[in-house]
Amino acid sequence: MKNDKNDIMFDFAAHLQSVEENYKMIQVLDETGKIVDSNLVPDLSDEQLVQLFKDMLWSRALNDRCIILARQGRLGFFGPTAGQEASQLASYLAFDKKDFLLPGYRDFPQLVKHGLPLHKAFLWSRGHFEGGQFPAELHAILPQVIIGAQITQAAGVGLGMKKRGIKQVAFTYTGDGGSSQGDFYEGINFAGAFKAPVVFFIQNNQYAISTHWRKQTAANTLAQKAAAAGIPGVLVDGMDPLAVYAVSRAAREWALAGNGPVLIETYTSRFQPHSLSGDDPKLYRDEASFVEWEAKDPFIRMRIYLMEKGLWHKEQEEDLIKKFDMDILKEVKMADDAPKQKISQFLEFMYEKPTELLKEQIAYYKNKEGD
């Protein structure tokens, strides 16, 4: 900076570059299954590594079956998850069952692993009230459909835990589109100001429906948005299960120690449409982008890594995927067999204690329904 004829000069480009140098992407396992940073290899047992891979396979099987169900008209809204298995399941592995999960609408894999029966997830998608009746021991809320709203909710849950002396953390997920919402900034700022034990995830799957993330922001990474809230921000290769787990585990420990929240951007991709409600990614993505990202598929690198350690054989996968699909179909049958909804039930669940008017309406509809 210099003062010349009362004009202040500042090298803004250099300043931006110095900021962005703090947000280099963290990677442990590259696209060929090789370790590129031995210092960050997480301390996971062979059993945990294999289970993580199985969980990812289960998630892909669930995705594939849900696409079929949605096309048959047997689901409501469904957001495909193929490509995001490492981002979702490796991050989830870093948390505890008593930690509080606040998912977005694409985060059913984590929610089911956290304890939601799968048939209830199907019922939620169909708009059935039983899909929102969670087991008492499940520390989670319903998937948030309002983009970014779970970020402010997570800040509140985390602060509540801190005030009650509960030694757990809240963790929440949104997409790159969610990071453009006002709720996102309010949530991370509030959590930062009060040092709430929260881990925020931005799953940067490149597109908010059809809008590329670089059209949403001038920032070179989404992780650097954490700086404005005075909290750590980390960019991680979201197709690398080992890196995602390592960063997520460190973030949980940081938050649990009373240091406040962490923001993690998992740089990943969804291989399929934003949803099955009319979105066609071929209208806004070129073929080369699909080829590029599919070569980074987390299954490729994780499979090679496990095979070289003698922990996996590719022949195992076909039978395992068939088993997963059979298990999923059993849960579909449970959802199909759920009792049909009644108007009186919707009214009964509107409030914890119904108003006098609601009581009259409930009685009226129960009489019509024959109850």
Among residues 15, 71, 212, 284, which one is catalytic? 284
Active site (annotated) includes residue 15:
no
List the catalytic residue out of 274, 301, 303, 305: 274
Burial of 193 (0-12, 13-18, 19+ CB in 10 A): middle
Catalytic residue among 270, 301, 303, 305: 270
Using CA atoms, how far apart are residues 57 and 50, in angstroms rounded to an integer?
A: 11
Q: How many other C-beta atoms lie within 10 A of the C-beta of residue 56?
A: 22
Distance CA 226, CA 215 (A): 19
Is residue 284 part of the annotated active site? The answer reads yes
Q: How many CB atoms lie within 10 A of CB 346?
A: 12
∠ Cα 75 78 79 (to 5°): 170
Please, are residues 142 and 179 in contact by the beta-carbon 8 Å criterion?
no
- Please state, in angstroms and rounded to a whole number, the distance separating the CA atoms of residues 346 and 335: 18
Angle of the 182-193 helix axis to the 149-164 helix axis, nearest 10: 20
Q: Are 103 and 144 in contact (CB under 8 A)?
A: yes
- For the annotated catalytic residues, the residue numbers are 270, 274, 284
